[in-house]
Amino acid sequence: MEGITADEGRELRKLKNENMKMIEDVYMALVGDREVQAWIEKIKAHEWVRMVEG
């Protein structure tokens, strides 16, 4: 990364890792939530979604 110091680079990598961990945690919570999964299936079954994906 041009134009940043080594400390800034380390901080950016740390933030990236923290952000990825947060995204993973949220994803796993959504995947494990039966209510959310039911809504996802209901949305997938909608005729407009099937038409677009079709």
Q: What is the CA radius of gyration of the chain?
A: 19
In whole angstroms, give the CA distance from residue 54 to residue 46. Answer: 12
Domain boundaries, the chain: 26-54
pTM exceeding 0.85: no
Look at residues 49, 22, 15, 19 and name the one whose alpha carbon lies nearest to residue 40.
Answer: 49
- Which pLDDT belongs to residue 32? 96
Q: Is 7 exposed, middle or buried, given 0-12, 13-18 or 19+ CB atoms closer than 10 A?
A: exposed
Separation between Cα atoms, residue 18 and residue 24, nearest integer Å: 10
pLDDT tens for the chain, residues 1 to 54: 679 999 999 999 999 999 999 999 999 999 999 999 999 999 999 999 989 988
Measured CA to CA, the distance from residue 6 to residue 22 in angstroms comes to: 24
At residue 1, the pLDDT reads 63
